[in-house]
Amino acid sequence: MRLFAAPGEPLAAALRELMNTPHVTLVVAEDDNGVAGTAQLTVLRGLSWDGAPRGLLEGIRAARRGVTSALLTWGIDEARRRGCARIHLDSGVNRADLRDFYARFGFEYSYQGFTRVL
């Protein structure tokens, strides 16, 4: 919860639900100081892209970039292992340095779609 800077109970409720969702995988990176990072991979299948599964990697929070690199590498490898044809990185990135960082892992800065707050 410290990594997400979010109120405890709503985040805890989401965590309980996600842990019981079969197409969602959550990982936690730890070091000598405890939790150092977290990531969530959701494997989705839809009618677009010829029905091929795709991964949505999100919730990457880390205390330092080395952990972030390890979580990104895990997400990419796990999506590939689970047969995903592509992986999306859900990040509200407005910072050029993070776009460059993600590009080193093969992600292209793009946006395809629309968002509406409900």
In the prediction, which pLDDT does 4 show? 61
Rounded CA separation 116/118 (Å)? 6
What pLDDT, on a 0 to 100 scale, did the predictor assign at position 71? 93
CA dihedral 37, 43, 48, 51 (to 10 degrees): 150
Residue 38 and residue 60 in contact, taking contact as beta carbons nearer than 8 Å: yes
The whole-number pLDDT of residue 25 equals 93
Q: Residue 7 has what pLDDT?
A: 62
For the segment 13-42, what is each residue's pLDDT rounded down to a tens digit? 888 888 889 999 999 888 888 888 889 999
pLDDT at 23: 92
- Ranges of residues in the chain with a pLDDT under 50 are none
Q: What is the pLDDT of residue 80?
A: 96
Q: Any residues with CB less than 8 A from the CB of 37 and at least 6 apart, and which?
A: 3, 28, 29, 60, 61, 62, 63, 67, 68, 70, 71
